[in-house]
Chain A
Amino acid sequence: ILNVEQSPQSLHVQEGDSTNFTCSFPSSNFYALHWYRWETAKSPEALFVMTLNGDEKKKGRISATLNTKEGYSYLYIKGSQPEDSATYLCASWGEKLTFGTGTRLTIIP
């Protein structure tokens, strides 16, 4: 992996269902992995910053895990709500901070 890649690009989830998506990043020269939540017409807001292999972070119904050896992070949302609709960005800090293109999540009421 040379760049930061996120999958899927977009996702529609029924309200109440749980979901997850992936951020892949270069595992060499790794310092930290950031997750941001970006609502339409607003600016990105930080969710988590993770640094250690095996790190798990949780904020309410949202959690994230980190695997620095294989270069991926998962973001999980449990019991999706309409207010979870947003684009979720990850960014890897190695030699520089590089953002992925995001996963656009839409929750269907």
Chain B
Amino acid sequence: DAGITQSPRHKVTETGTPVTLRCHQTENHRYMYWYRQDPGHGLRLIHYSYGVKDTDKGEVSDGYSVSRSKTEDFLLTLESATSSQTSVYFCAISNGQSYNEQFFGPGTRLTVL
């Protein structure tokens, strides 16, 4: 299994509070991604990174920011959480080979009350 961990695995927070989710990899892969998974929508890309300090927006980036100061860590921040951001968040990594094949972390279940 690819060495990807996410923390926390579960979080309950209140509307308006900041939340940071962490993705950590031990594979030294260049690319890292944050997705959210909601019923009826499958996996939707929030942000991705193609190197240290190099990030770009995905299709549902509003309300989220990311940072990557080290190859192994990719942080997703909700500056002011809203109930619409209640979701399961998956981190994924890719080495850019095999046509961007993704290896997924275990997921973080976030509930915003």
Contact = CB atoms under 8 A, between A and B. Distances in A.
Interface of A: 31-32, 34, 36, 42-46, 49, 51, 89, 91, 93, 96-97, 99-102
Interface in B93-113: 98-107
Given A43-B90, A101-B40, A49 B45 contact: no
Nearest to B98: A49
A92 to B, nearest CB: 11
B28 to A, nearest CB: 18
Contacts of B43: 44, 89, 91, 99
Contacts of B105: 43
Interface residues of B, number: 20
Given A34-B99, A93-B100, A43 B45 contact: no
B22 to A, nearest CB: 16
B102 to A, nearest CB: 7
A10 B91 CA distance: 25
A101 B42 CA distance: 4
Contact of A34 (B41, B59, B101): B101
A97 B42 contact: no
A89 B106 CA distance: 16
Contacts of A89: 42-43
Given A43-B90, A43-B107, A100 B42 contact: yes
Contacts of B59: 96
Interface in B28-52: 35, 40-45
